[in-house]
Amino acid sequence: MQAEIITVGTEILLGQILNTNVKFLSEQLASLGINLYFNTTVGDNKDRLKQALAIASDRADLVILTGGLGPTADDLTKESLAEFLQLPLVVVPEELNKIKSLYHKTGHKWAENNIKQCAFIPNSYILTNKVGSAPGMALKFENTAFVVLPGPPKEMTCMFLNYAVPWIKNTFNCEVSDMLYSKILKFTGIGEPSLEVLLADLFEVQTEITLALYAKTGEIQLRITTRAENKEDFERKISPVLTEIKKRTIPYLFGENEIIFTEAVAQLLLQKNLKISTAESCTGGMLAQYFTSIPGSSGFFLGSVVSYANNIKEQVLGVSSDLLEKHGAVSREVGSAMAERIRVLTGSDLGIGVTGIAGPSGGTQQKPVGLVYIALATPDKTICNECHFNGDREMIRLRSVDKALYLTWKYLKNILD
Amino acid sequence: MQAEIITVGTEILLGQILNTNVKFLSEQLASLGINLYFNTTVGDNKDRLKQALAIASDRADLVILTGGLGPTADDLTKESLAEFLQLPLVVVPEELNKIKSLYHKTGHKWAENNIKQCAFIPNSYILTNKVGSAPGMALKFENTAFVVLPGPPKEMTCMFLNYAVPWIKNTFNCEVSDMLYSKILKFTGIGEPSLEVLLADLFEVQTEITLALYAKTGEIQLRITTRAENKEDFERKISPVLTEIKKRTIPYLFGENEIIFTEAVAQLLLQKNLKISTAESCTGGMLAQYFTSIPGSSGFFLGSVVSYANNIKEQVLGVSSDLLEKHGAVSREVGSAMAERIRVLTGSDLGIGVTGIAGPSGGTQQKPVGLVYIALATPDKTICNECHFNGDREMIRLRSVDKALYLTWKYLKNILD
């Protein structure tokens, strides 16, 4: 069974609003086990909407339309659908009464153009709008089912979940039984191509299970998807491939589904009852901000010194002026000293030091933009990584934070090289 | 001239990501005066993508594709376009060298599947990717121009603005003359409804000029739009209304167009040759991170102490233990002392202190979640604001940062109440 979404609204094609409806409906269709192959966005224009309807109804069993149900002249969705199907629109008196009493209750002035909200194709199923005024409409015509929903996200989601889904399930009875389930595995410290190579044969063997990789800033996601009767059936089906993936990706796999990497690090710190603190130069507080974004961060994070100016490195952190003069602020020695000093200063178990050149200016031939030293001081030893990052200032800072978190995570997992 | 956007990615049709690229491209096309009538989203599937290309190239002069340029097997955009146009894809050695040296520099392992990122349709224009690895491609074939962009928003926007726009302007020379121009004014410290009331009569009088308000986190934007022959003509047309708006909004208007509020504060600090430093508790480094996100921030920002644990407030910042015991860490007195101490400690002209309860736990009846003290220490005096913010942890932290910046901005503008 195939569905297609047509979103209607000139405001979307002018970039005035972000189309969040498609994300919601896509997720819902996936969980219903309905394939979605196309989404088309079209402006408030009858001819172009009819053109989109012709294409969509030709290739889909279910066409979902959102937007253009309001009272104003540029709301044309039902009108276009009716013309396309060569069917009339007829005012339904009960709906007109409902909408009039709604206006009365809210104290809004009644305007005659509201009547068009109460006109529907005869014999279609009227979808109640519990959140706003314009009702929706669902009908099957020849081989295609059409579901017409309002544009405002609150109205659309409420109507879809409460009225459209039951109608769809009923109309396509046997076809939406097995639902699509998925699990996301999250990786860091490895690029997408290398991860694909590591898992290549698994991608090929799977028949009923789909594996898909996505690169996000600072992490790679692997989505494992398959149809299943229920959650338990899903877990059972994916268990062999999941075990194999986990075995191969120990140094990179940090969690599942909604978790973000900072949370994974935080959980390990809390489990091991370790406190951490940071001394930051080029990341300028970003690492501290990541740690403190986690609720309950006072359980593992003590504080930070953002030693942006050199004299702060000396006077607040206590990095020796000899070291600064001899090696420069951006050096392995100063990065390590920053990590060690913040550890002592705050009395934490672990200290992170980050010093580098985020650019755009400040780089030299010996020490170019993107050079960052990331150090972790532990009770036993201090490790310092020299990194060369690409990208603009923001990207270099983000990558420095990711790398510092990764170094900490590897230490906590006892898998430091 | 008509354009059409094809967004490629199964992850969009599964509802895993929100399609923000279309909003950006739609805005850009509108400002170029190019009509956008359709946007189609299609999954990572060659046949369906070719189907979408057939429909789009039939009705548009310019087809913009985003997504599917990566190294993995499900990245199929260039392959589909080449098949659709019955043209080959050929590896360009210079691009291959570039990408290899990029991998070498970042220390990522080279994987052979990266080669496909360097294959292009012969004689097409290669669009440089300054932010990521996969280059884009632009070409005109028969009556249709195709612009192929990567999917990750940072890469896409950078490539579009720097390389695709000049190519489009060049390719469609005469057709993008009658342009829509707009200027954005940016406000802070005032809500959208209050700003609307302040400017209500101006909204009504304008005929050819459109005024539109948008609320964003921490700022309100007013977009002034009109058609004009050129930039000078535009400035002349909007001049009267612009002058009137500026007159009415002095305590809130911080800048125009791309500027962000932190930059506005930074510019004032640099103009006045003043240095600033921060002492942060609940914002946990976020304020320092904002300041240091500005290129050249070493010219005005000295450093920060993130005194998350109480003993850091005492031992590193030097806030007296008496004060902490008597008033508690979240108090007007401690907020002020933090601002004063960081000012002395770093030798800066201005010091900001932020202490509060970001939640979700840690609140009491006397000191509920959302209570934040924000202090600014200057050479003459210390000002401390008691704030009560709504929202979750992240929102309270963001609002605290905005408020701290606003307090600093008002001081620098000499408009403190």
Mean pLDDT in residue range A236-263: 94
Give me the pLDDT at residue B101, please: 85
Mean pLDDT in residue range A181-210: 87
Q: Report the distance separating Cα B316 and Cα A346, nearest Å.
A: 8
A203 touches chain B (CB under 8 A): yes
Q: State how far residue B58 is from chain A, nearest Cα, in angstroms.
A: 13
CB-CB contact of B161 with B131 (8 Å): no
CA-angle at A394, arms to A388 and A398, nearest 5°: 65
Model pLDDT for residues A131-140, shown as the tens digit of each residue? 888 999 999 9
Give me the pLDDT at residue B173, please: 73
pLDDT score of A173 more than 90: no
Three-state secondary structure of chain B: CEEEEEEECHHHHCCCCCCHHHHHHHHHHHHCCCEEEEEEEECCCHHHHHHHHHHHHHHCCEEEEECCCCCCCCCCHHHHHHHHHCCCCEECHHHHHHHHHHHHHHCCCCCHHHHHHHEECCCCEEECCCCCCCCEEEEEECCEEEEEECCCHHHHHHHHHHHHHHHHHHHCHHHHCCEEEEEEEEECCCCHHHHHHHHHHHHHHCCCCEEEEEEECCEEEEEEEEEECCHHHHHHHHHHHHHHHHHHCCCCEEEECCCCHHHHHHHHHHHCCCCEEEEECCCCCHHHHHHHCCCCHHHCEEEEEECCCHHHHHHCCCCCHHHHHHHCCCCHHHHHHHHHHHHHHHCCCEEEEEEECCCCCCCCCCCCCCEEEEEEECCCCEEEEEEECCCCHHHHHHHHHHHHHHHHHHHHCCCCC
Mean pLDDT in residue range A137-149: 96
Alpha-helical (H) ranges within A39-76 are 46-59
Place of tokens 């990501």: B17
Mean pLDDT in residue range A165-177: 77
B360 touches chain A (CB under 8 A): yes
Low-confidence ranges of chain B (pLDDT < 70): 107, 174-178, 206, 217
Give me the pLDDT at residue A178, please: 65
Q: State how far residue A87 is from chain B, nearest Cα, in angstroms.
A: 25
- CB within 8 Å: A316 and B45: no
Domains and CATH numbers, chain A: 2-176 (3.40.980.10), 179-256 (3.30.70.2860), 262-412 (3.90.950.20)
Q: Report the distance separating Cα A218 and Cα B327, nearest Å.
A: 41
CB-CB contact of A21 with B10 (8 Å): no
B101 touches chain A (CB under 8 A): no
Give me the pLDDT at residue B176, please: 52
Q: State how far residue A38 is from chain B, nearest Cα, in angstroms.
A: 5
Give me the pLDDT at residue A177, please: 54
Mean pLDDT in residue range A262-291: 97
Give me the pLDDT at residue A99, please: 85
CB-CB contact of B341 with A338 (8 Å): no
Q: Report the distance separating Cα B139 and Cα B88, nearest Å.
A: 13
Kindly report the average pLDDT of chain A as a whole number. 91
Q: Report the distance separating Cα B178 and Cα A190, nearest Å.
A: 48
Model pLDDT for residues A397-407, shown as the tens digit of each residue? 999 999 999 99
- Two structure tokens written together for B346: 């770093």
Torsion of CA B117, B121, B126, B130, to 10 degrees: -10
B117 touches chain A (CB under 8 A): no
- CB within 8 A of B158, min separation 6: which ones? B129, B130, B131
> Which residues between 180 and 199 in chain B have a beta carbon less than 8 angstroms from any beta carbon of chain A?
none
Give me the pLDDT at residue B178, please: 57
ipTM of the complex: 0.71
Low-confidence winner among A161-175, A360-374, B357-371, B395-409 (lowest mean pLDDT): A161-175
- The pTM is what? 0.72
Q: Report the distance separating Cα B115 and Cα A241, nearest Å.
A: 28
Give me the pLDDT at residue B147, please: 98
The confidence band for A216, taking pLDDT boundaries of 50, 70 and 90, is confident
